[in-house]
């Protein structure tokens, strides 16, 4: 489905096969500025090549279909080969018949630690746990592919989610909270909830919001806005079962500012129910919802 839609965006760009991601990698090392910075430059280059040159799914992507994304590491401590910090993962996808790219993922993983020796080989084996660094990066690479696919077809990213879950299972041996159910709103719960029938409305909402709403904006902004409203109603089904669910937060971390823009600009639609649903789904963003014009 993604190939059909993106093909409509660009009509034709050849038949070359390519990996899925076009990823930029960056490191903030302000808190470890006294150390030798060369190792971070080496790691940045190695990770960029690793992410962009690895085939993360069985789908065939042309060069223009690559998913734009970024990995931003904030390193808070570094000693010998030990690194500690956080990771901001972001991804977006194009909206049909427009120059706009909509954010589909924006996650701040605050429990990132790994070992790395300069120039070590970065080779990922999905059937074994070889390093925390490789597992973390491979996990989020699969999550990006999965979420992107979910926006083009209903539950289209299931295979990639299963790959991400397999990485979590392999990493259980580390006993780190970020990989286990002992943690809170972590990698374990992110993929576990995505695959849980309890949270099926989340994935349906992602499909409705993007394919049935944003991708219709070029034909009719009003129809697109109504589609966003329907997607938010679907997301309420998650709140009915699990108020303040992690996936709901994940959704609004990516979408809050965009939703404000959608319902503030362009043709007017009835938004009383929209405001009610938004305040119910994400009360922490109430100040943003207050900026939506009636």
pLDDT in tens, 28-73: 999 997 677 899 999 999 999 999 999 999 888 877 889 999 999 9
pLDDT confidence band for 2 (50 / 70 / 90): low
The average confidence (pLDDT) of the chain is: 92
Quote the CA–CA distance of 27 and 84 in Å, as a whole number.
12
Residue-wise pLDDT for 97-133, tens only, equals: 999 999 999 999 999 999 999 999 999 999 999 999 9
Q: Would you say residue 18 has pLDDT above 80?
A: no
CA quadruple 91, 95, 99, 100: dihedral positive or negative? negative
Q: What pLDDT was estimated at residue 294? A: 63
Contact 92, 104 (CB under 8 A): yes
Quote the CA–CA distance of 273 and 73 in Å, as a whole number.
39
Residue-wise pLDDT for 231-241, tens only, equals: 999 999 999 99
pTM: 0.92
Quote the CA–CA distance of 56 and 221 in Å, as a whole number.
35
Report, as an integer, the average pLDDT of 165-177: 94
Q: What percent of the chain has pLDDT over 70?
A: 93
Tell which residue, 2, 5, 69, has the closest CA to residue 216: 5
φ, ψ (nearest 5 deg) of residue 290:
-70, -15
CA quadruple 86, 238, 179, 124: dihedral positive or negative? negative
| Helix axes of 246-264 and 200-210: crossing angle, nearest 10 degrees | 20
Contact 194, 247 (CB under 8 A): yes
pLDDT confidence band for 215 (50 / 70 / 90): very high
Residue-wise pLDDT for 252-272, tens only, equals: 999 999 999 999 988 999 999
Q: What strands lie across the sheet with 67-79, from one edge to the other? A: 21-28, 67-79, 82-94, 101-115
Q: Would you say residue 194 has pLDDT above 90?
A: yes
Contact 95, 101 (CB under 8 A): yes
Quote the CA–CA distance of 26 and 35 in Å, as a whole number.
17
Write the DSSP symbol of residue 122: -
Quote the CA–CA distance of 118 and 45 in Å, as a whole number.
11
Tokens read off for 68: 């734009």
Contact 217, 250 (CB under 8 A): no
pLDDT confidence band for 80 (50 / 70 / 90): confident
Quote the CA–CA distance of 187 and 140 in Å, as a whole number.
9
């Amino acid at each position: 489905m993604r190939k059909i839609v993106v093909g409509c965006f660009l009509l034709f760009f050849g038949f070359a096969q390519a990996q899925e991601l076009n990823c930029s990698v960056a490191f903030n090392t302000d808190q470890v500025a006294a150390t030798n910075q060369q190792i971070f430059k080496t790691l940045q280059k190695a990770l960029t090549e690793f992410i962009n040159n690895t085939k993360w799914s069985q789908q065939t992507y042309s060069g223009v279909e690559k998913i734009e994304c970024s990995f931003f590491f904030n390193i808070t401590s570094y000693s010998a080969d030990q690194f500690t910090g956080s990771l901001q993962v972001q991804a977006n996808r194009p909206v049909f018949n427009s120059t706009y790219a909509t954010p589909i993922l924006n996650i701040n993983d605050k429990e990132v630690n790994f070992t790395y020796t300069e120039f070590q080989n970065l080779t990922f084996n999905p059937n074994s746990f070889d390093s925390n660094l490789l597992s973390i990066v491979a996990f989020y690479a699969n999550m990006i592919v999965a979420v992107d696919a979910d926006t083009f077809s209903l539950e289209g990213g299931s295979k990639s989610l299963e790959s991400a879950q397999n990485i979590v299972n392999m990493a259980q041996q580390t006993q780190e909270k970020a990989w286990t159910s002992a943690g809170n709103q972590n990698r374990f719960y992110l993929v576990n909830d995505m695959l849980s029938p309890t949270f099926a409305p989340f994935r349906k909402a992602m499909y409705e919001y993007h394919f049935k709403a944003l991708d219709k904006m070029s034909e009719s902004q009003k129809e697109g806005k109504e589609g966003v409203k329907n997607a938010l109603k679907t997301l309420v089904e998650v709140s009915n079962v699990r108020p303040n669910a992690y996936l709901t937060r994940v959704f609004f971390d990516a979408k809050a500012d965009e939703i404000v823009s959608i319902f503030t600009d362009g043709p007017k639609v009835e938004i009383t129910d929209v405001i009610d649903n938004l305040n119910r789904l994400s009360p922490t963003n109430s100040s943003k919802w207050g900026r939506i014009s009636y």
